[in-house]
Structure 1
Amino acid sequence: MINLNFFPSRPIAFYMARLFIVRSLAVLAGLTLVLMMLDLLGNAGDILAVPGNGDADLWRYVGYRVPQLINRFLPFSVLLGTLITLATLNQNSEIVSMKAAGVSAHQIIAPLIVAAFLFALAHFAFNERIVTRANAALDAWEAVDWGLVPAGSGVQSNVAFTHGDNLVFARLVAGRDDAVRLAGITIYERAQGTLRRIFNGETGGRDPGGWRLQNVTVFDVDSGVQSRLPSLVYGPDIRPDQFTLARVDPDERDIFSLRGAIAELRAVGRPTESLEAHWWRKLALPMSSVLMPLLGAVAAFGLARSGQLIARAVIGMALGFAYFVADNFAIAMGNFGAYPPLLAAWGPFFLFLLIGETVLIRTEE
């Protein structure tokens, strides 16, 4: 008699889901701990070298980096959790027992897919509420070389744009509209492509006559003379949005603020295809966890005593790695404008969905 239920049975479904969730979380915790220790060893010296920084700042760095590591390696942990769970069940002949009871391959991995969908929901919420803020805070802190970050909302780092022939850089930009505040401003004044003068201002803000820079150092390239000015007004025609929209980092914005930035850029005629690809990827990346049980299911089938269990686990891992490579390649093509935004974000997902389903059907027996 063919079993047409979605799950094999409630006890088996809860048993497999529990094994899968525990192993995936254990892999994620192990990866995060090891990678965080290695990362902290590489940056602790630079952080502590800043006067006034201490142990609290190291913990602050950990608080910023751990969400980034979790966001990056959660789908990979789900893949490894799938392989460990299914390989263990196969090794203990539990998969054989379920198939002997009439349970199909899709019913065997159904509890894992449902549990992976819960991972995807948690991943999306975690990225939108925590990771984006951690990215923005860490980038702003790193931009001031682990020193004091100016207070303000919407802090952006390393903003650059052109103003006529001149190049304008701002190390930090905070606020919006006429309340925009600048720090670490550098202006390269050029005439017909030749550099003439370099202006360096410590801080700056909106002024009725333009942008007033404070504590300005002026270097004349032709004479080689450097002078200092208490203040300087520059660029009366520069709009505040040229600073706030010059660098829109999708990793630092949640899905709603990124959609608003895309609308603002589109309104002023700026290209938005790359940002649209990243907007769609905010939905596609968490859903990659749902794909991992299907790609790793190859480890569940085939007799363990045939000696091919390890080979099947390697095949499942290779499929997962291939997906991550294809996903990064597609989003890179989306950044260059070679792929449409929707295809760049969702193309690898549906491609490997078909590949995983094909492999599962071909290896079920």
Structure 2
Amino acid sequence: MSASRLRASWFRLGRIERYVLVQQARSLAVALGVISALIMLIDFVEISRGVGSDVDLSGVRILGLMLLKSPQVIIQLLPFVFLFGTLAAFVGLNRRSELIAMRAAGLSAWRFVLPAAGAAFLFGIVTVAALGPLAASGDGLFQRERTRLSGAANAAEAVWIREGDDTRQMVIRAERQDRTNARLLGVTFFIYANDGDGHRTFRERIDAASASLSAGRWRLVDAVGAQIGQRAVRYETLDLLSSLADDEAFERFARPQSTPFWSLPGQIARVEAAGFSSTAYRLRLQQLLATPLMFAAMSILAAAFSLRLMRLGDLARMSFAAVVLGFGFFFVNQAASAFGSAEVIPPWLAAWLPPVLTALAAFTLLFYTEDG
């Protein structure tokens, strides 16, 4: 075959692949629109009944809260968008006998399935790197706004904070917060000393009427401190070194789902420095890293189930089986997340096992369909 004919052959194949990608993109847009509309409708009703029952909110305000909350839920359901959208695209190509024409022309299924999976993988990277952080920030704003509107931020509930370093740990309990004046009220400091072997020994307890954090120091007012075996000492004011930023005393750790991808490593370090378990944040980080693979696996799975020729029948049954299998892998993902959160299995295994299983099942079916 001459060089010109070879280039023309590759050009025709490129046009076919682009055509398949366009059909997939259209179906994905429809699937995304339907799922997004359902999620936003459910969120609108939920916010109206939840936050709207505590305070009087206008429809525009509820709509704004919905727009903050819904993107995060939509991104969590994007694997189903790729499952339904890719399935619809290839079923449509099959019904119009376009797949038959492609296969009759000697085009392997791999030549149009893998580009579709590659596009899904690239979209997964964009989702993790750009869309996901925006959605997570919106979800964080929604959580804070809901807390403010419901009055939970001003509720008289105990506040617990933990901080420290290799030589000292402090557990801080406050009866309530005074956000207006940036103070903790009714505060108790439990101070522990760490030795070289990692053992922790109680050293001192300090009770104070209020405490404020500024420039790396706790300023305690009307404080009483007592060490083991010694008399209590009263202080009008007392300063204690702190490793917290000024606003961290009044902010709880953000939920893993509300933490943007680029902030997760720093959040994990902060949580571990405070002495808390970072399993949920590590699991979230690994799940985000595995997102592109999950999108690609769902696309291959949907395409593999829809490649059966119309003349052989059972296309509807195969499509239904793809949807059932997709939901099955979703439940496997939820179960693995539960096991990972409970530290039954490592976070990396809980995050990567479902997409890897999905990809293996999809490739197995595609090999069987294409190569027998």
Q: Which amino acid aligns with 1:96?
A: I
Specify whether residues 91 and 48 from structure 1 end up closer, same or farther in structure 2 by C-alpha distance, changes over 3 A only.
same
Are residue 32 (structure 1) and residue 36 (structure 2) matched?
Answer: yes
The structure 1 residue matched to 2:16, chosen from 12, 18, 21, is 12
Please give the residue correspondences for 1:237-316 in structure 2 after superposition, counting only pairs within 5 Å: 240=244, 243=249, 247-316=253-322
Count, aligned residues: 322
Distance 2:103 2:75 in 1: 35
TM-score for the superposition, normalised by structure 1: 0.73
SS of 1:206's equivalent in the other structure is: strand
Cα distance in 2 for residues equivalent to 1:8 and 1:159: 66
TM-score of the superposition, structure 2-length normalised? 0.71
Query: 1:218 corresponds to which residue?
Result: none
CA distance in 1, matches of 2:10, 2:125: 21
Candidates 136, 151, 157, aligned match of 1:132? 136
Give the superposition deviation at 1:282. Answer: 1.7
CA contact (8 A) 1:255 1:279 kept: yes
Q: Residues 265 and 271 of structure 1 are in contact (CA less than 8 Å); yes or no, is this contact kept in structure 2?
A: yes
Name the counterpart of 1:325. 331
Given the superposition, is the C-alpha separation of residues 246 and 43 from structure 1 closer, same or farther in structure 2, using an over 3 Å criterion? closer
Paired residue type of 2:81: S
Letter in structure 2 aligned against 1:251: Q
Residue 266 of structure 1 and its aligned partner are, at CA, apart by 3.3
Checking the alignment, whether the CA contact within 8 Å between 2:28 and 2:84 is kept in structure 1 is yes
Q: How does 1:65-84 map to 2 (within 5 A)?
A: 65-84=69-88
- Root-mean-square deviation (CA, aligned residues, Å) is 4.2
**How far apart, CA to CA, are the structure 1 residues paired with 2:255 and 2:10?**
42
Amino acid at match of 2:357: L
Which runs of 5 or more structure 2 residues have no equivalent in the other structure? 164-169, 189-208, 223-236
Tell me which amino acid in the other structure corresponds to 1:277. L
Q: Deviations over 1:37-60 (max 9, x none)?
A: 232123225544555632331221
Q: CA deviation at 1:324?
A: 1.6
Q: 1:11 to 1:53 in 2, by over 3 A?
A: same
Task: Determine if contact 1:23/1:81 at 8 Å carries over to the other structure.
Answer: yes
Summarize the Cα distance change of 1:182–1:297 in structure 2 as closer, same or farther, 3 Å threshold: farther
Q: Distance in 1 between the 2:211 and 2:146 partners?
A: 20
Alignment of 1:190-205 (within 5 A): 205=212
Corresponding residue for residue 85 of structure 1: 89
Q: Deviations over 1:342-362 (max 9, x none)?
A: 212212222221111111111
Could you tell me the percent identity over the aligned residues?
Answer: 23
| Contact 2:294-2:358 at 8 Å conserved across structures | no
Would the alpha carbon gap of residues 271 and 73 (structure 1) be closer, same or farther in structure 2, given more than 3 Å must change?
closer
Partner SS state of residue 323, structure 2: helix
Does the 8 Å contact 1:298/1:313 carry over to 2? no
1:255 Cα deviation from its structure 2 partner: 2.5
State the 1:297 CA deviation: 2.0
Aligned-partner residue type, residue 85 of structure 2: G
Q: Within 5 Å, which residues of 2 pair with 1:139-288? A: 139-146=143-150, 160=160, 181=182, 205-206=212-213, 240=244, 243=249, 247-288=253-294
Q: Deviations over 1:211-255 (max 9, x none)?
A: 679xxxxxxxxxxxxxxxxxxx99979874785786342222222
Largest Rg, 1 or 2: 2
- CA spacing shift, 1:141–1:258, aligned 2, 3 Å: same
Q: Evaluate the alpha carbon distance shift between residue 63 and residue 209 of structure 1 in structure 2; reply closer, same or farther with a 3 A threshold.
A: closer
